[in-house]
Amino acid sequence: MKAIILAAGKGKRMGEITQSLPKPMVQVHGKPILEHILSGLHEHAGIRDFFLITGHCAEVIETHFGDGSSRGLNISYGRQWVQDGTGKAPELARDWVGDSAFFLCYGDILVQPAEYGRMAALAEYDGVISVKGGEELKHGGAVVLDSDFILQSIVEKAAPGTVSTPWYNAGIYLFKPSLFPFTARLEKSARGEYELTDAINALAAAGLRIKGHELRGQWADVRDPEVLEQLNRPAA
């Protein structure tokens, strides 16, 4: 099993913090978000092979992690030169993936590290989507699951009362190479971007079984300075 990490974004809501720093390199508890992600996947899911998709200030990430050998990892890179959404970005790693199952993670999502291992244990499914309860669905994707916790659809920025689900898309996935024919067929959305969730919806509509996985414990989308400050606040 391998892992692709989407780490190309600038994080405009971070303001001056990310002027000369990729958002995944912002520090939480004294080390970059991306460092937390890589170590969690390595220690709890046994991942050694990583493909980091970089963009904004790419050299900061590439210099910090290098080829990964100092950490006992194998790290490869691809650059997303045009910031036109997350839907097409994984295709940079298509040849690298080969026939392996792989995690696909956003580089600004923090989770309890043991959750990576729990997701890896579901690898018999066509895919796995992490979900979290208790979040404001209007901020992201509302995940509709059936009685077997299999994905039916993802509804982006759902208005209150329009979708009957408590589940929020938590931004950590496990896929097989069967994802790529669906990303290849993506067209730009109304906001002018290739949306990863459109490809995932197409997977589900084609009958592939995408298992929902409820995350336990703390989860954070480090979306803005307020979230960052809260995460770095000393424990009471």
In this structure, what CATH number is given to the domain that contains residue 74? 3.90.550.10
Q: What is the three-class DSSP state of 17?
A: helix
pLDDT in tens, 186-207: 999 988 899 999 999 999 999 9
Which region among 4-8, 135-139, 222-226 has the lowest average model confidence (pLDDT)?
A: 135-139
pLDDT bracket for residue 172 (50, 70, 90): very high
Q: Is the pLDDT of residue 236 over 70?
A: no
- Residue 111 domain boundaries: 2-232
pLDDT per residue as tens digits for the range 42-56: 999 999 999 999 999
If you average pLDDT over residues 219-231, what whole number do you get? 89
Question: Token pair for residue 170?
Answer: 């938590």
**pTM to 2 decimal places:** 0.95
Number of domains composing the chain: 1
DSSP 40-73: HHHHHH---EEEEEE-TTHHHHHHHHTTSGGGT-
Beta bridge partners of 49: 74
CA 132 to each of CA 9, 80, 104, 140: distance values in angstroms, whole numbers, following the listed order: 23, 28, 17, 11
Region for residue 123 given its phi and psi (left: phi exceeds 0; alpha: psi -120 to 50; beta: otherwise): alpha
